[in-house]
A and B are shown apart, each in its own frame.
Chain A
Amino acid sequence: MKTMITLTVNGLKHELAVEPNRTLLDVLRYDLELTGTKKGCDMGECGSCTVILNGKPVNSCLVLAVQAKGSEITTIEGLKTADGLHPLQQAFVDKGAIQCGFCSPGMILSASSLLQRNPSPTEEEIRTALSGNLCRCTGYQKIIEAVRSVAERDEG
């Protein structure tokens, strides 16, 4: 039986009627049509479904939408500002950290969460923060460099 839930996604409140057996990922992608969050494995193993849930990056394929009721969620669509790309998005573009792009939304969100908690991470800390986001294209290096470039810039 469907339940009414309220999700605040990228600052916007949505009232939705959802069955309890729908994941947050599916509700975001198919009900709210926010398709920037990707489905790579649906089992919490690849990280392409990463969203920020109440301030923490999680695998949205492992969260029931009903569990997330009343929560604040940021998806990749919520990162861009009126002035343009988020610094991390811009860095990913500039540093060649994006190839096929399928892991990128999840990667960028995990990275943004890291920099909020830890504005000057070491390389090991960056790699650890991104260790739940798999990439098959880049070998991770330019991704690390992109995150570093934003961290270092904000230091100066």
Chain B
Amino acid sequence: MLLPKFDYHEPSSVDEAARLMGEIGGEASVLAGGTDLLVNMKMGKTVPKHVVSLSRIIELKEATREQGSLTIGACVTVADLRELEEVRAEYKGLFEGAGSLGSPLIRNLATVGGNLVTARPAADLPPSLIAYGATIGLKKETGERTLLLEEFFRGPGETMIEPGEILCTVVLREPPPYSGGGYVKLGVRRALEISLVNVAAFLALDGPSGPVREARVVLGAVAPKPIRALSAEHVLIGERPDEALFEKAGEAAANDAKPIDDFRASAEYRREMVKVLTRRALRQAYEEAKLREWRRWK
């Protein structure tokens, strides 16, 4: 399959990239991992005049933690994300979500930033990142801004990113004690799957057996963008966590979901699965929350 002809640019710093995007952003596609862009170009869905590759920008591939925050560069690959000690230890839902994305080969190319800006409703990273309260850093020629990831998505393929803007960082704050995350994906086979439904959950408890102080339930693939299941969260806050509570939360989450029928699954099935997956994600989050003790970051 052929790729369209384009001019190729390889800025070596974020500033250079931002400047470039300021000039040609309107006719340019940003290339990070390429797992989405190259497929779209081969299928003729995207025909950019310019491709701006972020591959040479070292700072975008770094992950640093300082003062209770983990800052992940947008070009950190999904595989490398899973290798980060913090992600493995502190952000189990994210670790799970990243592990279910595509295949090991795809994960070696796909980037955290790419999975966000492509804004696919069924994407694997957004739900748990939102559940952990992630913020993102965007930069353009004229300045920077920070946004709550939850507010970044507008619809399928659409985000709040402005012309000439580049997504640079994803920032996660340190999770409180007695908190945990979970992520459950439902697909037809066990790899190379786009979720039929996915659910991420985050619980912060007052103590090892609750009650629930903070709760975030995020649903994917059942709305034009990943959504918080606010009614489910409402059900959870202040209550002692147990199976019955999670089931009630699942029922509530199903009502928050706005799934559609498509060639992969029916809306009805998706809605039913929101119940099941919510319950399971909450169970995962609770299991982790029960056991977490305060961990002082070095």
Contact = CB atoms under 8 A, between A and B. Distances in A.
Is any CB of A less than 8 Å from a CB of B in the complex? yes
Interface of A: 1, 3, 19-23, 42-45, 47, 50, 53, 56-59, 61-64, 66-67, 110, 128-129, 131-134
B105 A59 contact: yes
Contacts, number: 87
Which 7 A/B pairs are nearest by Cβ-Cβ distance?
A: A132-B103, A20-B8, A131-B191, A132-B105, A21-B3, A56-B108, A42-B1
Interface centre among A42, A45, A50, A58 (most CB of B within 10 A): A58
6 contacts: A23-B3, A58-B109, A64-B3, A64-B34, A64-B53, A67-B31
A132 B35 contact: no
Nearest to A3: B8
A51 to B, nearest CB: 10
Contact of B104 (A42, A67, A132): A132
- What DSSP secondary structure best describes chain B's contact surface? loop
Contact of A23 (B6, B7, B38, B191): B38
A43 B4 contact: no
Interface of B: 1-8, 10, 31, 33-35, 38-39, 42, 51, 53, 55, 79, 102-106, 108-109, 190-192
Contact of A57 (B2, B6, B38, B105): B105
Contact of A62 (B8, B34, B53, B79): B34
A61 B42 CA distance: 10
Contacts of A22: 3
A21 B34 CA distance: 12
A20 B6 contact: yes
A43 B109 contact: no
A128 B104 contact: yes
B192 A59 contact: no
A35 to B, nearest CB: 18
B103 A47 contact: yes
Contacts of B106: 44, 59, 62, 132
Nearest to A50: B105
Contacts of A58: 105, 108-109
B192 A132 contact: yes
A44 B39 contact: yes
A63 B190 contact: no
Contacts of A50: 105
A11 to B, nearest CB: 21
A42 B42 contact: yes
A41 B103 CA distance: 15
Given A66-B8, A67-B31, A110 B3 contact: no
A19 B38 CA distance: 15
A45 B108 contact: no
A90 to B, nearest CB: 24
Given A23-B38, A64-B38, A44 B53 contact: no
Contacts of B103: 47, 131-132
Contacts of B7: 1, 20
A43 B108 contact: no
Contacts of A129: 104
Contacts of A3: 8
B34 A57 contact: no
B277 to A, nearest CB: 21
Nearest to B1: A42
Nearest to A128: B104
A131 B39 contact: no
A62 B38 contact: yes
Contacts of A53: 108
Contacts of A133: 105
A59 B109 contact: yes
A2 to B, nearest CB: 10
Contacts of B39: 43-44, 62
A42 B41 CA distance: 12
